[in-house]
């Protein structure tokens, strides 16, 4: 007779495997779910009834609230907050609130922020409606280490204390004055990561952040001025061309504060703004960006000479560049020749002495595109790998055969280009033009 714990020669397995997992494992799984689904686990068993009440991280997505329900959204929100504030015990380290309906005269959200401030909140994410206003009590959460605010109106109280522990700040599509942005940044003395996605700036914002290491910006870069950034290493600048009256932006003055810059990302509009400066673009900056190892440029038009000259200026100023990515490559005329600035005889002073990896993506099967590839292969003596992703126009399916034939001819020509590096590998990955990467 087999032992009781065996049945048919196989060990029996507990039905409730999930409940037998260590509490830290189940907590980690639950914290990946929205709060609504977490609370629903309380009906599983007595053991699960109050498990959600002790979780240190909660995500509350209320974008499902409807104004046409019998219960007004404000009352729905109040009921949810009542259960949260009365049942949850222990610290809440991270809290995410997402709501897309403006709640008129709803003091409960202020109570929520006050409750979080008293329960150890360190990471706060607020995605509020664009016609809503950020609760002023957020400025009282002085223990915050990470703060993300999206879409709403931000008006600061007359005075607020320094966010002495904040190490990352993100302001995304909010309505805020340039003066308040500058004030917020300066009041975060140990800020290390800053993300600004702002389309409404009308005045210059001075970035004074002595501990800042990473900066990501989408907006009009003419309104960004770096004053005190001795540790800034990673920078992404995406100019959105929102202003038709863009002022001049001198490339030398803009980059002179980048002392230890390691990674730089730009888009075509940023290059265009630098190229429009008085006196044009210099051949190279009067100083070296000697710590830059990675350069990425998006939306490059190879037949726009001013922008190409601006890109070459930066490349010449980064003598220790190791990684380069140029994508969304485009042109106005398919058979347009490469601009003179890309001809090898005009670039005798350019040498990518440390470049090891290159990625090119876009409409490269053109004269201008092949000239760019030829230049990089000819001037990179230690190149290890070049990945080329030429796009196929998928809008006209009747010409697919012609497109493939053209791409094949392009591959054959590129394979025959001289390579300064004996170890350089050239790889291809054909894509449709709709498969764009983001900067």
Q: Among 60-69, 135-144, 258-267, which range has the highest average pLDDT?
A: 258-267
Q: What percent of the chain has pLDDT over 70?
A: 78
Mean of all residue pLDDT scores within the chain: 83
pLDDT digits (tens, 9 = 90+) for 223-236: 999 999 999 999 99
Measured CA to CA, the distance from residue 421 to residue 339 in angstroms comes to 25
Between 326 and 68, the more confident residue is 326
- φ/ψ of 340, rounded to 5, equals -55, -30
Asked whether the CA dihedral 412, 413, 414, 420 is positive or negative, the reply is: positive
The 3-state secondary structure of 396-435, one letter per residue: CHHHHHHHHHHHHHHHHHHHCCCCCCCCCEEEECCEECCC
Measured CA to CA, the distance from residue 194 to residue 281 in angstroms comes to 28
Q: Among 60-69, 83-92, 182-191, 325-334, which range has the highest average pLDDT?
A: 182-191
Classify burial at 412, counting beta carbons within 10 Å of its beta carbon; exposed 0-12, middle 13-18, buried 19 or more: exposed
Output the pLDDT for position 241: 67
Angle, helices 73-87/108-117, rounded to nearest 10 degrees? 20
Whether the pLDDT of residue 9 is over 60: the answer is: no
Between 356 and 53, the more confident residue is 356
Tell me how crowded residue 253 is: count the other CB atoms within 10 A of its CB. Answer: 11
User: What is the secondary structure of 285-354 as a DSSP string?
Assistant: -SS--TT--EEEEES-BTT-HHHHHHHHHHHHT-TT--EEEEEEEB-SSTTPPPPGGGSGGG-TT---TT
Cα distances (Å, whole numbers) of residue 421 to 342, 346, 383, 384: 20, 21, 6, 8
Residues in the chain: 439
Between 13 and 288, the more confident residue is 288
pLDDT digits (tens, 9 = 90+) for 305-340: 888 889 999 999 999 999 999 988 887 666 666 677
């Amino acid at each position: 007779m087999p032992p009781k714990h065996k049945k048919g020669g196989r060990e029996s397995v507990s039905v409730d495997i999930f409940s037998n997992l260590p509490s830290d494992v189940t907590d980690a799984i639950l914290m990946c779910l929205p709060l609504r689904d977490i609370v629903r686990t309380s009906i599983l068993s007595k053991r699960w009834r109050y498990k959600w009440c002790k979780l240190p991280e909660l995500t509350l997505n209320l974008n499902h609230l409807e104004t046409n329900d019998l219960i007004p959204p404000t009352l729905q929100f109040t009921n949810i907050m009542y259960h949260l504030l009365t049942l949850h015990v222990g610290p809440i380290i991270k809290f995410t609130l997402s709501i897309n309906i403006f709640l008129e005269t709803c003091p409960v959200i202020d109570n929520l922020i006050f409750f979080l401030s008293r329960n150890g909140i360190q990471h706060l994410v607020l995605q509020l409606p664009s016609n809503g206003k950020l609760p002023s009590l957020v400025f009282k959460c002085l223990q915050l280490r990470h703060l993300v605010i999206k879409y709403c109106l931000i008006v600061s109280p007359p005075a607020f204390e320094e966010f002495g522990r904040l190490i990352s700040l993100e302001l995304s599509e909010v309505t805020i004055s340039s003066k308040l942005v500058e004030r917020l940044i300066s009041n975060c003395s140990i800020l290390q990561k800053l993300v600004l996605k702002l389309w409404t700036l009308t005045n210059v914002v001075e970035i004074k952040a002595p501990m800042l290491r990473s900066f990501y910006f989408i907006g009009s870069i003419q309104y960004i001025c770096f004053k005190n950034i001795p540790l800034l290493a990673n920078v992404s600048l995406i100019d959105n061309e929102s202003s038709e009256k863009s002022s001049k932006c001198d490339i030398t003055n803009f980059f002179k504060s980048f002392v230890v810059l390691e990674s730089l990302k730009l888009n075509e509009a940023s290059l265009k703004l630098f190229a429009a400066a008085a006196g044009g673009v210099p051949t190279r900056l009067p100083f070296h960006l000697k710590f830059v190892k990675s350069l990425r440029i998006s939306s490059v038009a190879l037949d726009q000479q001013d922008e190409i000259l601006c890109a070459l200026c930066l490349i010449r100023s980064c003598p220790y560049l190791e990684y380069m990515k140029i994508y969304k490559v485009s042109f106005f005329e398919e058979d347009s020749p490469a601009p003179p600035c890309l001809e090898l005889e005009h670039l005798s002073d350019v040498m990518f002495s440390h470049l090891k990896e290159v990625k090119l993506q876009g409409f490269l099967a053109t004269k201008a595109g092949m000239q760019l590839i030829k230049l990089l292969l000819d001037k990179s003596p230690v190149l290890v790998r070049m990945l080329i992703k030429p796009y196929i126009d998928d809008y006209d399916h009747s010409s697919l055969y012609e497109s493939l034939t053209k791409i094949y001819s392009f591959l054959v020509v590129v394979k025959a280009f001289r390579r300064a590096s004996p170890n350089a590998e050239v790889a291809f990955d054909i894509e449709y033009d709709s498969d764009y990467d983001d900067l």
